[in-house]
Amino acid sequence: MKILLTGANGYIGRRLLPVLIRQGHHVVCLVRDKRRIELEEGLVEKVEFYEADLVNQELLKDLPQDIDVAYYLLHSLGSSSNDFHELEQKISMNFVEAIDRTNCQQIVYLSGISNDEGLSKHLSSRKNVEDILTKAKAPLTTLRAAIIIGSGGASFEIIRDLVEKLPIMVAPKWLKTKCQPIAIRNVVQYLSDVLVKEETYNRIFDIGGPDILTYKEMLLTFAKVRRLKRIIITLPVLTPRLSSYWLHFVTSTSYKIARSLVDSMRNEVIVKHTGIEDIVPQQLISYEDAVKLAFDKIAQNEVVSSWKDALVSSQINADLMDYIQVPVHGCLVDQRIMDFDRPREEVLNNIWSIGGDRGWYYWDFLWKIRGIIDKAVGGVGLRRGRRSPSQLVAGDSLDFWRVLVADKKEGRLLLYAEMKLPGEAWLEFRLVEEDGQIKLKQTATFRPHGLLGRLYWYSVYVFHEFIFKGMLSRIVSYNASNKKELAE
């Protein structure tokens, strides 16, 4: 079958894609920029890319006509848009208009469980998208999930942040709300196995795991898996706004996402629309086992995708590939070059391991302070970490940077700053050969926005003098086997 996959570079899409290919389907990935997807060897020739933005209906006029099934895996929860409800409505309407021009036999939509009265804005928006998709000519299969548990998932990472960083949690009353979490493996199997099954057409199915837990029980079970003793105190006085700020500062999520999640946590998300278990029978994984499986993936450096790597809007921070060409004019630059006489691969491995748990090699405490400041002014901070401790691909988040280029063969890593700045910033590492000697060239580029941007650059210039010099030296000298520098 020929399948259209939207959200192919998102958290769910990147896991579903290889499953569909292994099943023998021809997959057309609808993406804004195909350079952001790095596929395993052997998969590239089996995938077709269609570059378009669902915000712009004109870009969809040449969508392939011979589509059999279309997956709708898009959401704008983390969008820079002030009203993600309107954005989701627009792109879903454009999707219906485009898919109606094809021969599509089925649309599969992954939504959120929304059985409560008084839905949050987030769940209400998902329900609205569902209503719009039902107007398409092709029958709709809706799978409504509760919290999805898997390595790299938003819920998993937020729970992990809370449990691993806070021995004592003073939490709001929404921790008593019930939820039915589901393992990512079960979600992917449901998605892949409902293809062209007529008994799923124009039906809604809630999908959840075998356990119904409160959010407090989920936190304590997570702590049990991690062998951590945690105390949780719930207080009724913590308002949604205060709770959102609390999540924002403690976890890797942004304030906008935190606010949407907190608002949604007042709604119980428990399976009520049953029947999928008869159509797609499978062994449901318990919450505790799902957490253990996620950590197995992390331990094996096999985190396929992360919610933090998905770019969700068509605005400036979603078109980051336009920033691959680092500007020259009107920029302030700090460039340093250093020789080294150790194997090229060892230095490359040090570059590819930067950030996350490894840190930034020199005066790491200042990077942490910068992350705290960024969080305080509404930025992403350092808590996003990285998807894998040793692998990087274009589109990955890396603390408060975004990976634009990760070309190990050419020895080039280019990062774009997503921290709050009065300008735009790039950080590039490149291995070059000059006069028969391999050197590491490290370039920090800043394009200031007006006078404030220039004042910012010069105010931190003295710190850059030490930090960039020390970082370059230790990238060249760091020995991961004994965690010592080979040379200063």
Q: How far is CA 256 from CA 97, 100, 462, in A?
A: 29, 33, 34
Of 432, 395, 442, whose CA–CA distance to 416 is shortest?
A: 395
CATH of domain 2-308: 3.40.50.720
Of 267, 306, 259, whose CA–CA distance to 82 is shortest?
A: 259
Q: How far is CA 17 from CA 23, 104, 290, 323, 434, in A?
A: 10, 18, 21, 27, 42
Length of the chain: 488
Tally Cβ neighbours within 10 Å of residue 306: 26
DSSP state for residue 40 in the 8-state scheme: P
Buried b / exposed e along 457-487 (16+ C-beta atoms within 10 A): beeeeeebeebbeebbbbbbbbeeeeeeeee
pLDDT at 213: 94
DSSP state for residue 386 in the 8-state scheme: B
End-to-end CA distance of the chain: 58
Q: Are 260 and 122 in contact (CB under 8 A)?
A: yes
pLDDT tens series, the chain, 488 aa: 999 999 888 888 888 998 999 899 999 999 887 766 766 666 777 789 898 888 888 888 889 999 999 999 987 655 544 577 788 899 999 999 999 999 999 999 999 888 877 777 878 888 999 999 999 999 999 999 988 998 777 777 778 778 877 888 877 777 888 999 999 999 999 999 999 999 999 999 999 999 999 989 999 999 999 888 889 888 776 566 776 676 667 666 666 666 666 666 778 889 999 999 999 999 999 999 999 888 776 555 444 454 445 543 333 344 554 556 787 767 889 999 999 999 999 999 999 999 988 999 998 889 889 888 888 887 777 767 888 888 888 888 899 898 888 888 889 999 999 888 988 899 999 999 887 899 999 999 998 887 788 899 989 988 889 999 999 999 999 987 655 444 44
β-pair type (69-72, 182-183)? unpaired
Q: DSSP E strands: which ranges in 194-264?
A: 203-207, 213-214, 231-235
Of 389, 303, 402, whose CA–CA distance to 36 is shortest?
A: 402
For residue 390 the two structure tokens come to 């040793």
Q: Can you tell me the distance from the alpha carbon of 441 to that of 472, in angstroms, rounded to the nearest whole number?
A: 8
Sorted by sequence, the CB contacts under 8 Å of residue 200 that are 6+ apart come out as 106, 141, 194, 276, 279
Q: Can you tell me the distance from the alpha carbon of 434 to that of 445, in angstroms, rounded to the nearest whole number?
A: 22
pLDDT at 7: 87
Q: Are 71 and 6 in contact (CB under 8 A)?
A: yes
The pTM is what?
0.68
**Could you give the 3-state DSSP secondary structure of residue 379?**
coil
Sorted by sequence, the CB contacts under 8 Å of residue 409 that are 6+ apart come out as none
Give start-end residues of each CATH 3.30.530.20 domain in the chain: 319-485
Q: Are 313 and 76 in contact (CB under 8 A)?
A: yes
CA angle (49, 52, 56) in 5-degree steps: 165
Percentages helix, strand, coil for the chain (3-state, rounded to 5) are 40, 25, 40
Q: Can you tell me the distance from the alpha carbon of 97 to that of 88, in angstroms, rounded to the nearest whole number?
A: 14
Give start-end residues of each CATH 3.40.50.720 domain in the chain: 2-308
pLDDT at 206: 96
Tally Cβ neighbours within 10 Å of residue 373: 13
For residue 195 the two structure tokens come to 């293809």
Q: How far is CA 424 from CA 247, 351, 413, in A?
A: 27, 22, 17
pLDDT at 326: 81
Return the CATH fold of 319-485. Alpha-D-Glucose-1,6-Bisphosphate; Chain A, domain 4 (3.30.530)
Helix 287-299 with 184-193: angle, nearest 10 deg: 100
Q: Can you tell me the distance from the alpha carbon of 109 to that of 276, in angstroms, rounded to the nearest whole number?
A: 14
pLDDT at 42: 67
**CA-based R_g, the chain, Å:** 23
Q: Are 206 and 144 in contact (CB under 8 A)?
A: yes
